[in-house]
Amino acid sequence: MGLVALGLAVAVGGVVHASTYDDLVRFDVDGVVTEVRTESETVGDLLAEKNVTLAAADQVSPAVGTDIDDGDVVKVRREKAVTLVVDGRITQNTVHDVDVASALDTLGVKPKEGATFSMAPDERLGLDGNSVVVSNPKPVTLKVDGKKQRFVTAAPTVQALLQQRGVKVGELDEVKPGLGSYLKPKQALRVVRIEKVTRTEKIEVDHKVTYTDDSSLFTGDTEVLKEGRDGVDRAKVELILADGEIRERRVISRSTVRPPIAEVQKRGTKDPNTIDGGVWDRIAKCESGGNWSINTGNGYYGGLQFSAATWRSVGGPGLPHQHSKATQIKYAEILQKRSGWGQWSCAAKVGVN
């Protein structure tokens, strides 16, 4: 009986010892695969054993509470942020894929032949955020140096396109849209050449007009006593040229070449309402219906229907209809004294001859 008991104990002891053998498990963390021997009973135990802490959005397969058997494969896929730019369209995404190609497949992106990538398709995604730019061949238009070009490019950004085309951009030049902008299909781009130049110019200086009041002239009428003259300055000017056209002009310094001379004029103060139109009112009513500011376009002007040539022959300024009734009568009287009443066909009709 003693020997039997001893044998049983050995047998039982052998069974207990066999139960402590390690399981061989393939442990895959974001594509990094290791074969590990473990005494962990569940997936959760294995993660704790390997110091792998899961975030809320991370994925593990099989589930954390699943028992582990020899030969099992445990996969951990961490959540990864991906800023995806496809032909200028930007989206923010999260994926659990290991590499760029898998992430693009998950996000439904099918790059065309000849597309360029900011990250190689087989490049692993990082845990701290990823920027994946996919630029398919697309038609764009570029205007630079007076020429407009249309072509197809897979360049991802404006800057990359300009480098691809050998277009150099100066420090002051403007690029629309900006160099860092992503290219979109049918994008229109423009490079504006900005140039800053300095040159010397002559600048006219307007003369002033001074007035002296004259009670013999009607209000609104003037007479020149002394002719004025514009002056001339020499100026150093800075110009900002955009594609050769002046965009901005700034005077840096200036000096006088010829000073301006002020004009002196007499300015009337007499109230035109005090004039008695008398016979002129009657003629005007016949000639123009009494409208002293009329311009019908027939070559005659004002209440007394002067022609421009006749008006100027008696010294009238501008055109008759631009002046007051009093001014028109003033020059009509000059004409009447010089040529008589026959200058107005209506004079006889109103009883003047």
152-161, 224-233, 275-284, 291-300: which has the minimum mean pLDDT? 275-284
Of 72, 28, 35, the closest CA to residue 52 belongs to: 28
Strands 263-270 and 209-218: parallel
Both tokens of 66, joined, read 């699943």
pLDDT surpassing 50 at residue 216: yes
- Give me the CATH topology for the region 196-267: Resuscitation-promoting factor rpfb fold (2.20.230)
Q: What is the pLDDT of residue 325?
A: 87
Task: Locate the domains of the chain by residue range.
Answer: 23-77, 80-135, 138-192, 196-267, 273-349
Q: Domain 23-77 carries which CATH code?
A: 3.10.20.90
Query: 223-281 pLDDT, tens per residue?
Result: 899 999 999 999 999 999 999 999 999 999 999 999 999 999 998 887 765 555 688 99
Query: 325-336 pLDDT, tens per residue?
Result: 888 998 999 999
Q: What is the pLDDT of residue 272?
A: 61
Q: What span, in angstroms and rounded, lies between the C-alpha atoms of 183 and 89?
A: 9
Percent of the chain residues topping a pLDDT of 90 = 82
Q: Which amino acid is at 261?
A: I
Q: Domain 273-349 carries which CATH code?
A: 1.10.530.10
Q: What span, in angstroms and rounded, lies between the C-alpha atoms of 140 and 153?
A: 7
Q: What is the pLDDT of residue 269?
A: 86
**Residues near 223 by Cβ (< 8 Å), separated by ≥ 6?**
214, 217, 265, 266
pLDDT surpassing 80 at residue 18: no
**Residues near 312 by Cβ (< 8 Å), separated by ≥ 6?**
none
| Confidence band of 22 (pLDDT split at 50, 70, 90) | confident
**Residues near 221 by Cβ (< 8 Å), separated by ≥ 6?**
267, 268, 323, 324, 326, 327, 330
User: 138-192, which class in CATH?
Assistant: alpha beta
Please state, rounded to an integer, the average pLDDT across all residues of the chain. 90
308 DSSP 8-state letter = H
Domains 23-77 and 80-135 share a fold: yes
Q: What span, in angstroms and rounded, lies between the C-alpha atoms of 165 and 176?
A: 16
Average pLDDT of span 101-119 = 96
Q: Which superfamily does CATH assign the domain made up of 80-135 to?
A: Beta-grasp domain (3.10.20.30)
Instruction: Evaluate if pTM is beyond 0.75.
Output: no
